[in-house]
Every structure is written in structure tokens, then in C-alpha cells.
A and B are shown apart, each in its own frame.
Chain A
Amino acid sequence: MRKHFSAYMERIAAQDDIVFITGDLGYNALENLALQMGPRFINAGVAEQNMIGLAAGMASQGYRVICYSIAPFVVYRCLEQVRNDVCFHNLPVFVVGNGGGYGYGIMGSSHHAIEDIGTLSGLPNMQCYVPAFIEDMNACLDDMFARRGPAYFRLGLGKNISPDMMLKKYGAATMNQEAELTIIAQSPVANNVIAALKNHLHESKTVLYVINKMPLIELPEDIISSIKRSKRVLAIEEHISTGGLGSAVSLLINELSLPVDKFISLHAEGYPGGLYGSQSYHQQLSGLDAESISQTINTYF
């Protein structure tokens, strides 16, 4: 997604109210953008707190400001700046974090962001974007740049959308009016769900909804209908259960008194055993790889 993001930025770089601030990252990705934006491309150095405060100051003077870094660096270190300086004042500062979830794999836990959505999505005026595919990523970017308030954009390892999925306002969905299981997923881990469905011929029994914006304030109508019909729900996300998609869906199901016989949340489990590896290794440990997802789906039938 990073390259697509960079290409998108290059397309809008000429808009003179856009400022791009990097936290000293962008090697082999942002060089062209820096050339195109000239003085509106700023390297704030290794100083994320100042980067966000600075961005708030610039945004107060009419700029839309992107703050770019590796996801955990631009979420946790500067959380108070995001909350007080940006969100309290409803300013268009767009925090873009590369490598959400376990995206940085073997780089280790300092480089992972598996609590980012829970951390940010409850802040006032904040809109989090967690696209799963290249196609919905573009829609999210269009949406973000039309905003006049704060946003967080989680970049991951996105693929092109599967041909049997349709883009929706809330993300994307497969078409299955007869589904016996409603799967609700978020982030590029949705691609593992798609692989699980194809490899194990679950497609006819399931419907997959992909949600790309948080907080989830309400359930889309088609998802409500599907839950009413299937009475079985599986939530999947590369994020811890606290403050993530599964907990939001569970709350909404309860508030709407939807009849659910079985609800499973597959989510990031942190670091079981204290061992480290690639993104797919961590996904496996959390039951988020295609094979594990398939096994979980089997428990419904």
C-alpha cells in the first residue's frame, strides 16, 4: 500500500494547501514526492511529538497536513499531541502509519501496531481508515482528503480486491443472500479470509463484509440483515480485541438485540510465548492465517 499511497500523494502534490511531514522516513518511496512538493515537504526529524504539534499549528493556518511514519511511532509516542492539539481542535492533520498490525514482522514488537485503532478511534473527531485492498484504499484516501478534521490511515500489505467482491461505502462485501455465517473483517488480513474461503469451499455458506473505517458507530443495513438471517458471526482483525472491530461489532449486536447463536472474535493475541517472527508467523500464532481461519469457520458447521 505504501507505493500506492506515495503515487496517490504525487497525484495531489500540486494542491498548495497540502503539507507532507515525515518523521525522517521515506527512503526509496518518498523521494519523488519530496521533489514535487518542494518546501511543503518537511522532514521533522526523529521527533514525533513535535511533528504532530507542528502539524496542528500548520493546520490551524489553513493547511491539510500529513504526518507520516512507521505506524507505532506516529501513534503511541505522540498520543497526547494527537488528542490535545489535533483532535480537541478538530484540525485536518492526517496521521499516516506504515505497517499496521504485525506488518513490520521480524523488526519486532517496537515496530508493530496492534493497538493503534483502539488507541486512536475513540478520540474526539477522529476518523480511522483501515483499508484492506488497493481499491478501497483509494476510496479511503479520497474520503480523508475531503475531510476538515483529524484522521489516521493505517497502511498495510494490500492486494487488489477479489473479483467477486464489491466496493461498499463502508468497505467491501461478497454477495451471498443465503449465507449461514456472517464474517466481518478489517485490514489486509481480509485477504487471508478470502484465501480460506476459496481453499476450503466455504464460499457458498458464508458472506464476507470488510469494514475500513473506525470507530464503527453503526452496523450497515446489509450486515444487520445478514446477521439476522445467519445468526452466526465471525469477526477477524489484525488488532487486539480491546477497542477493535470485534468488540465494536459485539456491542452493536447487543444494542440492536440481534439474535446471535455463535460469535467468535479472531484477533491479534500479542506475543504468545514471547517469540518473534514474520507477519505471517504472528498471524498464525493468533489464528489469523488462512488455514486457522478455515478451521475456525469449520466450527460453525
Chain B
Amino acid sequence: MKHKELQGRLRTRILELHYKANSGHIGCSLSCIDIMIGILKYKESGDTFILSKGHAASALYSILNEMGEISNEGMASFYQDATTLPAHPAPLKYPAIPFATGSLGHGLPIATGIAKANKLKASPGISYVLMSDGETNEGTTWEAGHFAIANKLDNVFVIIDKNGLQGFGNTANILGDTASAKVWETIGFDVMETDGHDIEAILESKRKLLEKKNGRPKMLIAKTVKGKGVAYMENKMEWHYLPMNQANYEEAVAKIKVDYNL
């Protein structure tokens, strides 16, 4: 578990950001931070990454801070007036955030365009995009997915943060499973499912998918727990929205320090 310390440290950073800002969107950032470690820390030259679920911006900011792309001063301004780090990523502020997101369903079309451009230029880069499972409700997901299939874009790599919860309920009870492995495999993606909190498993699945240079776009369905790492937040829809009080915050950080050996 060589990433455990980093997984814990980034979690405490996310919690600190949200506590100081008195803001929500905590559960969805804890849900996908491990995926981001697996993708962003191992990104190769020419690869691109779009965070399509822009509401998990605090996770993105935290790992980019870890990687030296966002300064500590910048981080201190999160959610404040005159910040470059609003609740959803802003346009044209950081080279590591090539696209502002926040409205769902925008990332996959953009990532598909980047992948198509890479094909035209014969560039080797992989176009990664991280989406939420609720986000696959959006029609653009299906438009872009079919474009990627028809254009044989095996260099587009979709990661679904599949925590089973969306804005106002369980995905199963709203439109059903629009992030179903079976459906995506059937229409023409290469699909793998993995534990979205096990970075070694994420890396291994990614490697296996990218091995297949077969013209089929790639999708990694990462099974995750919303609020992962903070027991009282886990699998709770309300922690999409709620901020923490002091007691909540202290309890969460104490637990993470123990569980992640910090």
C-alpha cells in the first residue's frame, strides 16, 4: 500500500479546504481522490486530464498542489473573494486545468476532441476524463461515446467515479445504471471495473486497458464510496452538500490520521 500516506494526506487537505471555506462538495471529492492519484501522478508527457465532475474541484486542487502546480498561497484563497480556485474550476488559470467544468456532461466531448486531435497529429498522448456516474445521465455522454467508438479513438480513457449516488437520490432509482459496464462494452468500449480506492488496482486496470490498441475507446468503472475515509460521510447523499462544523472536522481528521497511518 505504497500510496496510503498520500491518500490520507490529500484527504486531510481536502477536509481542511472545506472546513476553512465552510463549504460542501466534500463527499464527492473524497470519492474520487484516489482515482486522481492513479491518473494524475502517473500521467505521461502528452497525456491530458479533464475533470468533468467539476464539483470535485477540491480533490483536483489538492493533488495539483501536491504536484507543485498550485501554490500554497493559491490554496489558501479557495472559496474566497478574488480567488483563482472557486468551487468549480475556472478557465485559463492553471496549465494543469485545461478546461473549466462545473456543468455536467462537458468533459467527455472535450476529451474526445483532444483524442481526435491526437489521432490526426499522430500524437501518442492519452486523453483522460473523470466523470461521475450520475453524469452519465447526460445526453452528451452518449453523443461523445458513440463518436469515440465510430472514430476508433482508443486513446480516449474514461474513468467513472461510480459511487451510486447523484444529486437527489441513488442512481439506481433515478435513471437506472447509465454507467453500466455491460451497456458500454456492448456499444463498443473496452471496459474494466475496479476498486476505485485501491490505487494499485486502478494502475493495473489502466495498464491492461491501454495495452489494447484495438480502436476501442477505454472505460474504467471505479467502484467508489462517496465520502470515503470519513465514516459518518460514507454513502451519505447529504455530504454532497453539507459543510463540517468544528466537531465534524476534528473527528474526520483524527480518523483519517489513524486509518491512513499519518
The yes or no verdict on A and B being binding partners is yes
Residues of A within 8 A of B (CB): 19, 39-40, 42, 44-45, 47, 49-50, 52-63, 80-81, 84-85, 88-90
Interface contact A53-B112, CB-CB below 8 Å: yes
Interface contact A84-B106, CB-CB below 8 Å: yes
Q: Does B92 belong to the interface (CB within 8 Å)?
A: yes
- Residue among A45, A54, A62, A88 with max Cβ neighbours from chain B (10 Å): A54
Q: B121: which of A45, A59, A61 is its contact (CB, 8 Å)?
A: A61
The 7 residue pairs across chains A and B that have the minimum distance between CB atoms = A57-B113, A53-B109, A50-B143, A61-B117, A47-B143, A54-B113, A57-B110
Interface contact A52-B109, CB-CB below 8 Å: yes
CB 8 Å contact bits of B91-111 with A (1 = contact, 0 = none): 110000011111101101111
The 16 sampled A-B contact pairs (Cβ below 8 Å) are A45-B147, A49-B143, A50-B109, A50-B140, A53-B140, A53-B144, A54-B110, A56-B99, A57-B110, A57-B112, A57-B113, A57-B116, A58-B120, A61-B117, A63-B117, A63-B120
Q: B147: which of A40, A54, A81 is its contact (CB, 8 Å)?
A: A54
When chains A and B are docked, how far (Å) is the Cα of A286 from the Cα of B5? 70
Q: Name B's interface SS.
A: helix
Q: Does B139 belong to the interface (CB within 8 Å)?
A: yes
Chain A residues within 8 Å of B111, by CB: 57
Chain B residues within 8 Å of A89, by CB: 91-92, 99-100
When chains A and B are docked, how far (Å) is the Cα of A60 from the Cα of B105? 18
Q: Does B114 belong to the interface (CB within 8 Å)?
A: yes
Of chain B, the residue at the smallest CB distance from A39 is B120
In angstroms, how far is the closest chain B Cβ from the Cβ of A65? 8
Q: Does B118 belong to the interface (CB within 8 Å)?
A: yes
Interface contact A58-B117, CB-CB below 8 Å: yes
Of chain B, the residue at the smallest CB distance from A53 is B109
In angstroms, how far is the closest chain B Cβ from the Cβ of A47? 4
- What range describes how many residues of B lie at the interface? 20 to 34
When chains A and B are docked, how far (Å) is the Cα of A54 from the Cα of B150? 14
Of chain A, the residue at the smallest CB distance from B50 is A57
Interface contact A85-B140, CB-CB below 8 Å: no
Interface contact B116-A49, CB-CB below 8 Å: no
Given A49-B140, A89-B92, is A60 in contact with B109 using a C-beta cutoff of 8 Å?
Answer: no
When chains A and B are docked, how far (Å) is the Cα of A42 from the Cα of B100? 25
Interface contact B98-A60, CB-CB below 8 Å: yes
Chain A residues within 8 Å of B20, by CB: none
In angstroms, how far is the closest chain A Cβ from the Cβ of B169? 24
Of chain A, the residue at the smallest CB distance from B144 is A50
In angstroms, how far is the closest chain B Cβ from the Cβ of A76? 15
When chains A and B are docked, how far (Å) is the Cα of A40 from the Cα of B143? 19
When chains A and B are docked, how far (Å) is the Cα of A220 from the Cα of B147? 45
Interface contact B114-A85, CB-CB below 8 Å: no
When chains A and B are docked, how far (Å) is the Cα of A42 from the Cα of B108? 17
Given A49-B140, A57-B116, is A44 in contact with B110 using a C-beta cutoff of 8 Å?
Answer: no
Interface contact A53-B120, CB-CB below 8 Å: no
Interface contact B143-A57, CB-CB below 8 Å: no
When chains A and B are docked, how far (Å) is the Cα of A45 from the Cα of B140? 12
Chain B residues within 8 Å of A59, by CB: 113
Of chain A, the residue at the smallest CB distance from B92 is A89
Q: Does B257 belong to the interface (CB within 8 Å)?
A: no
Given A50-B140, A55-B113, A56-B113, is A61 in contact with B100 using a C-beta cutoff of 8 Å?
Answer: no
In angstroms, how far is the closest chain A Cβ from the Cβ of B15? 29
- Residue among B92, B115, B123, B143 with max Cβ neighbours from chain A (10 Å): B143
Chain A residues within 8 Å of B115, by CB: 57
Of chain A, the residue at the smallest CB distance from B139 is A49
Chain A residues within 8 Å of B121, by CB: 61
In angstroms, how far is the closest chain A Cβ from the Cβ of B136? 14
Interface contact B140-A56, CB-CB below 8 Å: no
Chain B residues within 8 Å of A84, by CB: 100-103, 106
Given A50-B143, A60-B98, is A42 in contact with B92 using a C-beta cutoff of 8 Å?
Answer: no
Interface contact B106-A57, CB-CB below 8 Å: no
Chain A residues within 8 Å of B100, by CB: 84, 88-89
Chain B residues within 8 Å of A39, by CB: 120
Of chain A, the residue at the smallest CB distance from B54 is A84
Interface contact A42-B116, CB-CB below 8 Å: yes
Q: B99: which of A42, A50, A60 is its contact (CB, 8 Å)?
A: A60
Chain A residues within 8 Å of B103, by CB: 80, 84
In angstroms, how far is the closest chain B Cβ from the Cβ of A149? 12
When chains A and B are docked, how far (Å) is the Cα of A90 from the Cα of B139? 25
When chains A and B are docked, how far (Å) is the Cα of A190 from the Cα of B143? 39
In angstroms, how far is the closest chain B Cβ from the Cβ of A74? 14
In angstroms, how far is the closest chain A Cβ from the Cβ of B36? 20
Please name 20 further chain A to chain B contacts, defined as beta carbons within 8 Å, in addition to the given A42-B151, A56-B113, A84-B103, sorted by A numbering. A39-B120, A44-B147, A49-B109, A50-B144, A53-B108, A53-B109, A54-B109, A54-B110, A56-B99, A56-B109, A56-B110, A57-B116, A58-B116, A58-B117, A61-B114, A61-B123, A63-B120, A81-B109, A85-B109, A89-B92
Interface contact A57-B120, CB-CB below 8 Å: no
In angstroms, how far is the closest chain A Cβ from the Cβ of B2? 34
Of chain A, the residue at the smallest CB distance from B123 is A61
A-contacting residues, B160-175, CB 8 Å:
none
